[in-house]
Amino acid sequence: MEPVGDLDSKQQALKPIQTKRSAAREVEGDGKKPEDIKEEEEEGEALSPVGRIFHETCFNVYVIAIAGFKIRINVDVVKANLEHSLLKHPRFSSLQVKDVKKDGGMKWVPTKVDLDKHIIIPSLHHTISSPDKMVEDYISNLSKTYIDYSKPLWELHILNIKTSDAESVAVFRIHHSLGDGMSLMSLVLACSRQISNPKALPTLPAKKTSNPDPVKSGRIWWTIRLVWNTIIDVLMFLATTLFLKDTMTPLSNGWKKGGGHVPRRFVYRTVSLDDIKQIKNGMKTTINDVVMGVSLAGLSRYLNRRYGETKEDKGAIEKKNNLPKNIRLRATLMMNIRPSPGLHVAAFLYHRVMNHTTICFSNVVGPMEEIGFYGHPMAFLAPSIYGQAQGLMIHFQSYINKMTFVLSVDEEIIPDPNQLCDDLEESLKFIKDAVIARGLV
């Protein structure tokens, strides 16, 4: 998952994902014979280094994308459309197998996809007393299992049950080796269309670009700062890999050595994106800055309560500052980079950095208009991951005029994730009220 820039900018249409095989098809007209392309596909394309890292024991990560819809999901319609969209993408119609000719490295091998093995429809009783809790438990139970390698590594779970914020829920489970967060998001959204214009793809905000004069705009000073900050980031990465750890707090995972193979609990909350933009405009900052500030404020409230629970004066848990001095809490941003020291070493380094930090953080921009997934109007979108080392993952996802924050937690570390959701929501309200009270908007 990658962080993205500000949301306030011009629209940008989704672009298709390019692979070596799809690129080969495009140059077929330039002299490449169809039989040559077919032979390449049968032989299989090797997994990228990053894709292979996600198969290491300590870094086996899955993407979970929860989508709520305003109507019940028509399973037959979804199946029929998947045949002509998602399955056209090689990675969703290929197995990942070891290549005995290349030292056991993994490669993509095209296969015939049986949708009945990928679309899971559990039997649900509509008399369930708490549908929200049932859906939450179902999604969390997915983190206890892994997808069988005898089929392409993705699943779609359809829960046709009404919850407090949707008439039905669909859950995509995709192995992270199939792509990074933004590419998987683009692929899933490519299966959607605008409700107002059923023939149009969703549009995402794009960063405003300009070509200012280097001297007048202070571009030279900006470049110097960029180089300096890059050097500091590299040094901090090396220090974190070798010895620098976050402060041990109730959010720490105890520096587990076994990886992130523990069950996760996924909870989410939707707030107003307009409130976040109001804070952004008042403080003259970015949406990324606002959501980071809300996260820090929410975590401070949560930790203050947890530390206060150990004190005798229970009535002062939230009124007093119970936080110890000099707490260091850092967040890891999951990025796609090409490792050079070897897969096992790179996976070990990634895992060690994650194990020495407290939080995994991500902010992904979503569609600016209401969309439908094969004709099903979407109410919300809440992606996350499991398999990482940290006990807490905070993911922000925008959709139209909403912002959904999703928590992926290790319940041994955070037994009350809904309370943390409340703290994040309250922190947003307090920050907004403070901006208004100071007359900044």
The single residue of 157, 175, 176, 395 carrying the catalytic annotation is: 176
List, edge to edge, every strand of the sheet that includes 192-194: 119-120, 154-159, 168-175, 62-69, 376-386, 371-373, 192-194
Q: What is the largest CA-CA distance in the chain?
A: 79
Strands 376-386 and 371-373: antiparallel
Helix, strand, coil distribution of the chain in percent, nearest 5:
40, 20, 40
Q: Which of 279, 275, 294 is nearest to 396 (CA)?
A: 294
Q: Which of 158, 78, 165 is nearest to 399 (CA)?
A: 165
The two structure tokens encoding residue 234: 């590299």
Q: Which of 2, 6, 43, 40 is nearest to 21 (CA)?
A: 40
Q: How many CB atoms sit inside 10 A of residue 422's CB?
A: 15
176 carries an active-site annotation: yes
The two structure tokens encoding residue 27: 């140059």
Tell me if 173 sits within 8 A of 157, measured CB to CB: yes
Q: How many Å apart are CA 437 and CA 284, to the nearest integer?
A: 16
DSSP string, 140-169: HHHTT----TTS-SEEEEEE----SS-SEE
Residues with a known catalytic role: 176
